[in-house]
Homo-oligomer: A and B are copies of this chain.
Amino acid sequence: MSQTTQNNQTRKAEENSISPAAKQQQLQQQLTPVYKAIDTGQEASVIKLINSLHPAEIAFLIESLPDEEQRDKIWKLVAIEHKGETLNHLNDYIRAQFIEDMPTSELVVTARDMDHDDLADLLPDLPEVVTRILLQSMESQHRKRLESVLSYDEDTAGGLMNTDTISIRADITLETVMRYLRFLGHIPDTTDNLMVVNYEGIYQGVLYLSDLLTHDPELYVSSVMNSDLHGINASTDKTEVAALFERRDLITAPVVDDNGYLLGRITIDDIVDVIRDEGEHTFMSQAGLSEEDDMFAPVLTSSKRRAVWLGVNLLTALLASLVIGLFQPTIEKVVALAVLMPIVASMGGIAGSQTLTLVIRGMALGQLSDKNYRSLMFKELSVSFLNGMLWAVVLAVISGIWFSNETLALVIGIAIIINLLVAAFSGVAIPLLLDKFGADPALAGGVFLTTVTDVIGFFAFLGLASVMLL
């Protein structure tokens, strides 16, 4: 029962890991022996510890090391057969550094045994000499396959595909298929079906392994195969492919060219990465960061990237300041306006970002169309109007009491309603416009929205005050 004991131990570590804090603890448990081994110079045990991990876990471990020297040390200890896949799991910055430091011969050995889709992702980062040696050393069949993956953008089905398909003809019996598989002796990871092609290599359908195993071996492939699963064109965008996998609960799907010729297959593990990256991308771009941003990249690298975003936002803030500047004489007379004006701007910003978030999500899911965006606009304006009324009253009461000025109370109330309506309108219109012009709403939407709600917020509030209070 040593199996069960082992299971129990694994389980101990996995139990109760509900919060990030627990995850951190778990990670630390993993790291502690590695650190200890490094500190005491026990290279042998570090090597053993590291190479017992999955390449994704090695990458994860390296990324959580803040110290560059420690990263390099660990990297040198990773077994060469794990290096390729580990490189693919590392973020761009660390990967580039490691590749720079690796000798050509090591890079060639590392890359040689990788899956074609993974290798295709890595190739653009490799020195040209390595790429040349690699392509020359490959069998012509392998090279052709790799080149077919390379010819597609990495954001398309062609760039995601693996070329390790097992293809069969429709006019053979299941018995023959089973003999063929036993002859091959190996089925690639993540295979739930065999691809059925005709004599020209045109995709016809799939034979699920489960159907192969449950049907009479005398039957022909043609009568058991499934032709409902259409081939995905190699130029299809990867987010579209991911949506298809999600909606149809697919494990693998065939990739075909414009003529229906079978090129390869896409597997769910790559789709999981696409979905994870999409989520990260949306989340990170809101703060002007990329999903490749490294927690422990050098200070100068990070500073430069972030400076750009701060600069863009400074322009926004300066625009708002220009608007305030127009009303300096008014503020000089009623200084309470300076005290209250940030509230008007910030309420607009919050309400607008709620609408913006909903719209960006709806667009990403493809649920927002020309057919229904009017309804959404109407709804968002209604919601903002109701909330505007509510918070106008609350703020009017607070301001009226604070500064004993009823007109001021009226001014802030009206300004809040105006700004919330503008916020709702912009929250719907800005992402739709950005998308029309090919910009990423998740990246630029927030900046544009804040500009509008700040400018309109200050202008409405101070403008009304100039008219009504002076």
Contact = CB atoms under 8 A, between A and B. Distances in A.
Contacts of A181: 213-214
B357 A284 contact: yes
Q: Copy number in this complex?
A: 2
A176 interface: no
A185 interface: yes
A147 interface: no
Given A14-B236, A280-B361, 9 more contacts: A7-B203, A17-B240, A23-B366, A275-B275, A302-B379, A302-B383, A307-B387, A310-B391, A313-B350
Nearest to A365: B60
A361 B283 contact: yes
B189 A249 contact: yes
A321 interface: yes
Which secondary structure dominates where chain A touches chain B?
Answer: helix
Given A28-B369, A54-B248, A307-B390, A210 B237 contact: no
A20 B435 contact: yes
A223 B361 CA distance: 49
Nearest to A23: B366
Given A227-B3, A272-B246, A367-B60, A289 B328 contact: no
B284 A361 contact: yes
15 contacts: A6-B230, A15-B233, A19-B438, A27-B367, A56-B247, A60-B247, A64-B369, A66-B375, A66-B379, A192-B251, A268-B272, A293-B358, A318-B398, A331-B338, A338-B338
B15 A351 contact: no
Interface string A193-236: 00000000011110001101111100000000001001111011
A371 B67 CA distance: 11
Interface stretch (A75-83, A99-107, A123-131, A339-347): A339-347
A382 interface: yes
A358 B286 CA distance: 11
Contacts of A390: 307
Nearest to A32: B371
A295 B342 contact: no
A8 B260 contact: yes
Contacts of A405: none
Contacts of A394: 314
Interface string A326-362: 0010011001111111110111001101101110111
Given A66-B379, A295-B367, A251 B190 contact: yes
Contacts of A214: 181-182, 184-187
Contacts of A307: 387, 390-391
A45 interface: no
A279 interface: yes
Contacts of A345: 342
Interface string A275-306: 11011101110111100010110011011001
A21 interface: yes
A40 interface: no
A266 to B, nearest CB: 13
Contacts of A296: 372, 375-376, 379
Given A14-B233, A15-B233, A187 B210 contact: yes
